[in-house]
Structures are given as structure tokens and as C-alpha cells.
Structure 1
Amino acid sequence: MTKRNTQQRRHAIAVLVQEQGEVSVEALTQRFATSEVTIRKDLALLETGGLLLRRYGGAVSLPSEMVIEPDVEQVSNRKQAIARAAAERIRDHNRVIIDSGTTTSSMIPLLGNKRGLVVMTNSLNVAGQLRELENEPILLMTGGTWDPHSESFQGQMAEQALRSYDFDQLFIGADGIDLERGTTTFNELVGLSRVMAEVAREVIVMVESEKIGRRIPNLELPWQRIHTLVTDDGLGAEARDQIQAKGVTLICASPSADTPRRK
């Protein structure tokens, strides 16, 4: 199926959900003559874009109070732009780590056209989305101790699992970016993130521009560990200059453009 047909199908699904309030995977499969895996992938992408909410066996329309939130929609658009730019850096047969987080998980529905991926994650949410892809990657889980704060696995067992492999890329988010020190977080459990960075050839940080400049006490990854920063085009010129001075590849993705701007 062509990309255009895929986009048309997803648009039609979004309209159906809005009109009917609820749709099932089974009904959509029959209506569009495609597989359940493909429909689940469509629903995952539409949910990430803020157009519906997935439920067991289907999807429902957004509550009315969620529909007219311009700030939420703006954030969603920024996350989608960052996700598109990050996903473009993944080649077929890459071995990647995807850390837990809403920004990193926004990239998952965009990986359906990638072939032969090997993906390790510490997130049950990321793992669940990966299993819905039409080209399902080889999935590796870190295991370890469940941390309810970050909704991810952490600890020594997870670190040992990571050290058993080597990876092409790490995709990781951040609670904040300290322009002097690097990525920062509210979570004191930073050991796993540092091991992830150690075992990956390229560390790609995905973060919205509004988080850049936040000074949070817990340093997660120093600039020396970061190769690429993917953000949106709301980043100011002064911050761009400071990041580039660290030797980091900076990609500023525009929600209104298909092609991200590389700095």
C-alpha cells in the first residue's frame, strides 16, 4: 500500500471515530480490508497525534474537554516533529535502545517501515507499541526492578542485560537540558541511562525546546556523552549556539514542515 493510501486510511479512521464515538479493530479491519496489526499501528499513531484514545479492541473519541486545548495540541505537534526527525536517523537492521518516556515512545509508530530492527527497551509501554508494528522488530527487554516514578525497569539486572549487547543508537528523553552540564532529570536513578549511553555508538536526545535551559539538580548525561540533540524549532538562537559549541549535532524539527532543519 502506498504512503498516500495509508494517510487516507488513517484520516478516514479519525473521522469515523469522531462521528461514531467508538470503533473496533475488527470492524476497521473489515472496512479497510487490511490486517489487525496494520489497524493497531494506525490507532497508535492517531493516538500519539492526539486524535483519539485507544481502548481494548479498538478506540474511542477524545473527551470534549481534551479537544480544545491548544497548548496540548501544540505540544503534541512538537513531539510528532521530533519523533519524525529522530525516526529518520534509524536505518534498516539497526540495533537501537529506546528509553522510557512520552517523547521517545512517540517515535514507535513511525518505525513500521523499518526492517530487521533489534530494539532493547526498559519500558513496557514501548515494548507494547513495538509489538503492534507491522514489521515487528526483535524485541529485547532489560528486566530489572520496576520503578513506578519513571514507569520503567531500573537497577543492576537491567544494567547487566544492557552490557551483554552493543547498539548503534540510543534514543533517550530528558526532564531538562542544562546548557552547561547536559541532560538533567528529577529521577535520582540515573545509572541505567549512563549504561545505555556507554553501550551505544550514537546517543540521540529527544527533547522539546521548552525544556532546554532547565536546571534540575540530577545530572543524567554530560554533553561529552551526547552526539545528537533533536528538538523543535522553538529553540532560541543563543541556546542553539551554546549546544553547537559542545560539538553536538543539533536538529530542529518544524511541526509545519516535512524536513527537519539540521544545524
Structure 2
Amino acid sequence: MTIEPADIAAAALPALRQTRIAAIVRERGQITVAELVTRFNVSRDTIRRDLDILEQRGILVRTHGGAIPSDSLVMHETSLALRMDTHVEAKRRIGRAASALIRDGETLIVNGGSTTTYFAAELDERRNLMVVTNNLRIPPVLPERAIRAVYVLGGTYWSSPQVTIGPIGFASTERISADTAVIGVTGVCDGGFSIARLEEAAASSSMVRVAKRTIILADSSKLRTTAFAHVTDFTDVEHLVTDAEPAPDIAAALVEAGVEVLVARS
């Protein structure tokens, strides 16, 4: 393996070295610890610590003896705090565009996630809304003048996604009814929409079932990605709000299912 001058300089600076490692993994698709040790002339323990840090940031996934890009595997869960700090401007644009689809007086049911939190903060032009959610980040950011009432669904508190999950669910449409479900997802592929946690996917699916229409929010990093648990099919969704055009095959499937794609550009 050729050692570049930039790699020699990076060896002494952890942040720079980690940036170079992330770039190498993206370029090559995989890398071993042994190769990185040779490339940067540092110890195996140092490289392992670098890989651990990069995995915690969601940049790569550790494998036995090395690492691969995080998008090479089925998407796994990252903390909400981390997601709130990634693709921020795109998520704000998506939230703003989605808020324009909401009508005064609606009852909204909203799931967990960073993009739905940014959506909630953009509702200041709406009035007389009722919001039902399991996302504990949403109530504090809702514009007071827009809201008639807020219902927080009960259940066990999960600290990483900052949501509540069960035992209160959606046994039937007679129990809860909503005008619009606003659902953030982890993955959008030709098989539909998905989320990293099975329990969150089940709760989100229930939200879709009890709503008259569904708006999906997904930034471009989620397009052509598959997460662990299926939420719903394209045919159950009226709108997809994103910040980039989907790939042609996904775009064709969305059109066939009657999903309106709204691209929130900068």
C-alpha cells in the first residue's frame, strides 16, 4: 500500500487521521486494521480506537479485522442527538416544505425522528392543530400559536430515539383517528419505507393505518437505503418530501403508486 504525504501528516493528528480513514473506507468499500496500521504508521490499538470513534459517529461499521462504509449494511439505529446534527439544512427545508401541506384545524399523528422534529418546528403558519406523537422532542418545539392540543402517547421511554413505545398502541381506528400521519423513515427503496427498530416501525405503521393520508419525510441520505423493519408500502402514502430527486427506478415506482414527490431544494 502506498503511503501518501497526507497520511504521514495525519498520523500525528487524530482528527485528521480519522477523516482520512473515513475517506479511504468510502473510496475502497472496505479496509483492514493491518492496512491502516501500515498506512499511518501507528499502533493497532490507535487504529481500533479511530474505527470505534468513526462507528459511533455513524460513518462506518466495524467488521472483524477492519471496517466498511455504514451504507454497505442494512441501516442500523443511530441516536437522535446525532441525527439532529446531521443534514440539518436539508431537514429544515424538508420540514418547511411538508408544513405547507398541512391545513389549519388538522389532527396530525407524528412519529419519532429528527426530520419530524424539524417539521414540527416549522408549523408556525398553521392554526388550530391537534398533534398526537410519541416523539418527546416535538412538544417543546411546536409553535404555541399553531396548536390546539398535544397528546403524547404513553409507553416505555427509549432514550436513544427519545420516543415512547407501547404498551399503548392503536388497537383499531375507532380508538384514534387522524387527518394526516407525518412519518420520518430511515430508508426508502423500491420495496417501500423502513425504519431501523422493529418496535418503532410497528408504531409508525399503526400511525399510517389510522390516518386519512400519509406524508413521508426522508432526506437524500435515506434514498435507496433499506433499514431493518418495513413501515409501509408506496401505495399507502400520498406524499414523499425529500431534498433530492429519487433514483429513476424508485421514482418510477413512486409515480406508479400515485405518490407525489416534493423536492425541497436549497
Q: Which category describes the TM-score, using the shorter chain as reference length?
A: 0.5 to 0.7
Amino acid in structure 1 at the alignment position of 2:193: T
**Structure 1 residues 1-263: aligned runs within 5 Å:** 75-130=87-142, 132-160=143-171, 164-179=175-190, 181-189=191-199, 190-255=201-266
Residue aligning to 1:44: none
| One-letter amino acid of the counterpart of residue 112, structure 2 | S
Once the two structures are superposed, residues 59-101 of structure 1 have per-residue CA deviations (whole angstroms, 9 ceiling, x without a partner) of xxxxxxxxxxxxx999222112211110001111011112111
Larger radius of gyration: 2
CA displacement 1:1-47 (0-9 Å, x = unmatched): xxxxxxxxxxxxxxxxxxxxxxxxxxxxxxxxxxxxxxxxxxxxxxx
Letter in 2 for 1:177: V
Paired with 1:80 and 1:210, the residues of 2 have a C-alpha distance of: 14
Cα distance in 1 for residues equivalent to 2:259 and 2:108: 19
Distance in 1 between residues matched to 2:163 and 2:173, nearest whole Å: 14
Residues 144, 159 of structure 1: CA spacing in aligned structure 2 closer, same or farther, 3 A cutoff?
Answer: farther
Whole-angstrom distance in 2 between the partners of 1:141 and 1:158 = 12
Q: Which stretch of the first structure deviates more once superposed, 154-163 or 243-252?
A: 154-163
Q: Indicate the SS of the match to 2:144.
A: coil
Q: Which residue of 2 aligns with 1:57?
A: none
* Amino acid of the structure 2 residue aligned with 1:114: R
User: What amino acid maps onto 1:97 in structure 2?
Assistant: I
Aligned mates of 1:120, 1:83 — CA distance in 2: 17
Rounded Cα–Cα distance in structure 2 between residues aligned with 1:194 and 1:234: 25
CA contact (8 A) 1:155 1:191 kept: no
With over 3 angstroms needed to count, the CA separation of the structure-2 counterparts of 1:74 and 1:199, relative to structure 1, is closer
Query: 1-side partners of 2:244 and 2:85: how far apart?
Result: 16
User: Counterpart amino acid of 2:263?
Assistant: C
In structure 1, stretches of 5+ residues that fail to align are 1-71, 256-263
Give the Å deviation of 1:225: 2.1
CA distance in 1, matches of 2:173, 2:131: 11
Partner of 2:79: none
Alpha carbons 1:177, 1:213 under 8 Å: kept = yes
Number of residue pairs matched by the alignment: 182
1:175 to partner: Cα distance: 0.8
Secondary structure at the counterpart of residue 120 of structure 1? strand
String of CA shifts for 1:154-192, please: whole Å, max 9, x gaps. 12314359862211101011111121x211121021221
Residue matched to 2:41: none
Q: Percent sequence identity over matched residues?
A: 24
* TM-score in terms of structure 2 length: 0.62
Moved more, 153-162 or 113-122: 153-162
CA distance in 2, matches of 1:245, 1:135: 35
Is contact 1:178-1:216 (8 Å) kept?
no
What is the CA-CA distance between 1:245 and the residue it aligns to? 2.1
